[in-house]
Amino acid sequence: MSQQFLDTEGPGWVERGIISTEQLQQLRALYPAQPRAIGLLPLLGSILVGLSALSLVAANWQDLPEALRLALLIGALMAAYAGGEYFLARGQRGLGIGLVSLGLLLFGAGIVLTSQLYQLIGYDVTGLLAWVVAGVVLTYVYQSRTLLLLTVFIGALAQGYSAGSLSSYSYATAALTAGGLGYYWWRRPDGFCGVVLATGLLWQSALLIDFLHIKITWFFVPAMLIYAVGDWQPDRPAARAWQAPPLVAAFLFMLGLAMFGEAGSYTDRLRPQLVGFLGALLLVLLVSVAGKRARGRLASTADWLLLLPGYYFPGGLPLAVAALVVLYAYSGSVLYRGFREQAPERVNLGTVLFVLTTMVAYFKLTWDFLNKSLFFLLGGLLLLGLSWYLRRQARALPPSDQPPTPQS
């Protein structure tokens, strides 16, 4: 309950005699005003200041003597960290962390500019790796979400550079992101950080698949491993956020298959060697289900419907239909769980997914054959019927069958 809510509603309760003025005071004391969360502002602010300083120095950079340039870099770096400590010691956490973030950015700039200063060419990603290490260390030292988010981006950048410019994969960067930042998130679970970190890990997984030149469907083995970690995370809301990016990736991939799978020209790039791939995926499934069991969330096993390997069907129409079946199974399961657990957001999500799938199915399968008004009429009736059926199902459930309220 927020202070603001008590402020607006409280006097009304007192007026109606529901609570006394004293009780309102007690309630206010129970829910003290939270210090305003600034969140992204210090991060963005520090990025802007960093960029401006960078462009100013960069404009005159070449004219400065080498030693001065080096001193400038190190001086700015130390000043930013010292400033961060100064404000943190005075309780201004937002500003302090902002300056520490700036210091971290300046460290990266320092590595790049110093290499450039000496026209130094490296053939591995050591410099950027040091940047990632610094980010992970500072995340722990300052216990900061902002630094974690920044380090996810630095890791993504380092891996992108390694893959794009050096044609190599930095396993150390991947391990630091997954192990270092992942462990921090595990101990300090948080929804937004979960989404960003999981997305960063998906990016690094995708680069790995590209680097190894293996079939792109292998991507879903690391992706679902990320998902499975969420199953073991005790904090339910943070775990759901963490699991969203892999699920979104799987859904989009299936949607793409349903839409373009017919072409068949690239389907040979989707089919990894059957036993190895399915074995690996099954192993991840076991890890995931074990986690769901341990945390009492077996109902969410339906998420795995998205991973049904429909792409082993021959290209063309069978493949598109198989992808559609997978999509329908998944969105149907989301809807069903939404109604069963009386969770409106999930019902809405399920509806959107269902409509999306239906649209694809329509355009794919019936657009050419059906009269257009009949086409939309059928779609509408289908959804209305489904909603009616699910509501009836939900009402028929005995109250005791309701799942327990989400544990923290």
Residue 97's alpha-carbon distances to 109, 239, 246, 270, 281, in angstroms, are 18, 26, 30, 45, 40
Minimum separation from the CB atom of position 189 to other proteins (A) = 12
- If one asks whether residue 187 binds other proteins (CB under 8 A), the answer comes out as yes
* CA–CA dist 230, 239 (Å, integer): 5
Minimum separation from the CB atom of position 70 to other proteins (A) = 6
- If one asks whether residue 111 binds other proteins (CB under 8 A), the answer comes out as yes
Spell out the residues 6+ positions from residue 31 whose beta carbon is closer than 8 angstroms to its own.
1, 2, 3, 6
Tokens of 202: 């998906």
Minimum separation from the CB atom of position 197 to other proteins (A) = 17
Tokens of 134: 């610094």
The one among 23, 26, 116, 342 contacting other proteins by CB under 8 A: 116
- Among 185, 398, 394, 407, smallest CA distance to 296 is for 407
* CA–CA dist 216, 372 (Å, integer): 37
- If one asks whether residue 150 binds other proteins (CB under 8 A), the answer comes out as no
Q: Within 10 Å of residue 24's Cβ, how many Cβ atoms?
A: 18
Minimum separation from the CB atom of position 89 to other proteins (A) = 9
The one among 27, 38, 74, 308 contacting other proteins by CB under 8 A: 74
Name the residue nearer to other proteins (CB basis): 181 or 223: 181
Q: Within 10 Å of residue 197's Cβ, how many Cβ atoms?
A: 26
Minimum separation from the CB atom of position 66 to other proteins (A) = 8
Name the residue nearer to other proteins (CB basis): 27 or 74: 74
- If one asks whether residue 234 binds other proteins (CB under 8 A), the answer comes out as no
Name the residue nearer to other proteins (CB basis): 81 or 227: 81
Tokens of 233: 């995370």
Applying CB under 8 A, the span of 20-28, 122-130, 189-197, 261-269 interacting with other proteins comes to 122-130
- If one asks whether residue 86 binds other proteins (CB under 8 A), the answer comes out as no
**In terms of DSSP H, where are the helices of 233-368?**
236-260, 274-294, 317-340, 344-361
Applying CB under 8 A, the span of 4-12, 140-148, 288-296, 381-389 interacting with other proteins comes to 140-148
The one among 77, 97, 102, 195 contacting other proteins by CB under 8 A: 77
- If one asks whether residue 98 binds other proteins (CB under 8 A), the answer comes out as no
- If one asks whether residue 85 binds other proteins (CB under 8 A), the answer comes out as yes
Q: What residues between 38 and 67 interact with other proteins by CB under 8 A?
A: 61-63
* Residue 7, H or E segment: helix 3-15
What phi, psi does 34 have (nearest 5°)? Answer: -75, 145
Q: What residues between 269 and 328 interact with other proteins by CB under 8 A?
A: none
- Among 209, 210, 229, smallest CA distance to 220 is for 209
- Among 94, 80, 86, smallest CA distance to 40 is for 94
Q: How many residues bind other proteins (CB under 8 A)?
A: 40
The one among 143, 393, 402, 407 contacting other proteins by CB under 8 A: 143
Residue 38: Cβ-neighbour burial (10 angstroms; 0-12, 13-18, 19+): middle
Q: Would residue 202 be called left, alpha or beta, if left means φ above 0 and alpha means ψ between -120 and 50 degrees?
A: alpha
The one among 140, 161, 260, 328 contacting other proteins by CB under 8 A: 140
Minimum separation from the CB atom of position 100 to other proteins (A) = 8
Q: Which residues bind other proteins (CB under 8 A)?
A: 61-63, 70, 73-74, 77-78, 81, 85, 103, 107, 110-111, 114-124, 127, 130, 134, 137-138, 140-143, 165-168, 187-188
